[in-house]
Amino acid sequence: MMMSTGSLTFGLLADIHLEPAYSSNLTDYSWCLQRKGKEFNISTEEAHFGRYGCNPDEVLVEAMFEKMRSEYGGNLDVILVLGDMVGHNYADELDPEKPNPHADYDDLLEILETLGFLLRDYFPESITLPVIGNNDCKYHYMPEFGHTKAAYYDMLFKQYFLDHPVNAHLSNLDEIERTLKEGGWYRVDLGDDLSVLVLNTLYYNSAYFFEEAMDEAAT
């Protein structure tokens, strides 16, 4: 599928940080989360649509998507989802001396899948292009590598491309699949004279120095 590039409307979604465990009756002292071994404070006021200083839950994200859809309808040709789709603290730390006790890789993957469903539901007529952020992989600030890499990129390609009613018909889908699964980068051709290049800049992050990850990146 190619588009006329004379006039395109882009939507930008950055740092969604979807947090399914958000608690509306907790303060930002604990980021509105109740977790084992971590102190929290009960708020005097419920915050059903999010609280400043906390990651948003699905209710707030859907309200934002609904507002965006009502404002622009089906006129958003392309939506760029600019990374950090997952709430903070789901990614682990690779340094064994600084582990994240709240890391949960299964929940991280489920959040990415949930966001893929929501984007398809609210913007089924828009090309939707995800970018991988520092909170979106197994390890914080690390690109996906090792034994989880293949399944991770398979999931992303299925959720955000194969199962998307518009993305599934992009003209260079085979190339997108190859490079996305190689390392999380891809190019989307919107027309003869316009392409979007999505990079995985986690490979250039200063925190990305561990030997195991470097060996994987070099293969």
Asked if the structure places residue 43 within a domain, the reply is no
At 39-52, the pLDDT tens digits run 667 887 888 888 89
Asked if the structure places residue 48 within a domain, the reply is no
Tokens standing for residue 29:
């002292």
Alpha helix segments (H runs only) across the chain: 58-72, 105-122, 149-157, 173-183, 211-218
Asked if the structure places residue 128 within a domain, the reply is yes
Which of 43-47, 166-170, 173-177, 187-191 is predicted with the least confidence, judged by mean pLDDT? Answer: 43-47
Asked if the structure places residue 49 within a domain, the reply is no
Does 12 score more than 60 pLDDT?
yes
> In the chain, which ranges are E strands?
10-13, 78-82, 127-131, 186-191, 194-198
Does 190 score more than 70 pLDDT?
yes
Q: What's the whole-model pTM score?
A: 0.88
At 86-137, the pLDDT tens digits run 999 899 988 778 888 888 999 999 999 999 999 999 999 999 999 999 999 9
Q: Which domain holds residue 143?
A: 10-19+76-218
Which of 78-87, 97-106, 195-204 is predicted with the least confidence, judged by mean pLDDT? Answer: 97-106
Asked if the structure places residue 45 within a domain, the reply is no
Please give the tally of structural domains in the chain: 1
Asked if the structure places residue 126 within a domain, the reply is yes
Contacts for 111 with CB less than 8 Å, ≥ 6 apart: 18, 20, 85, 86, 87, 90
Asked if the structure places residue 30 within a domain, the reply is no
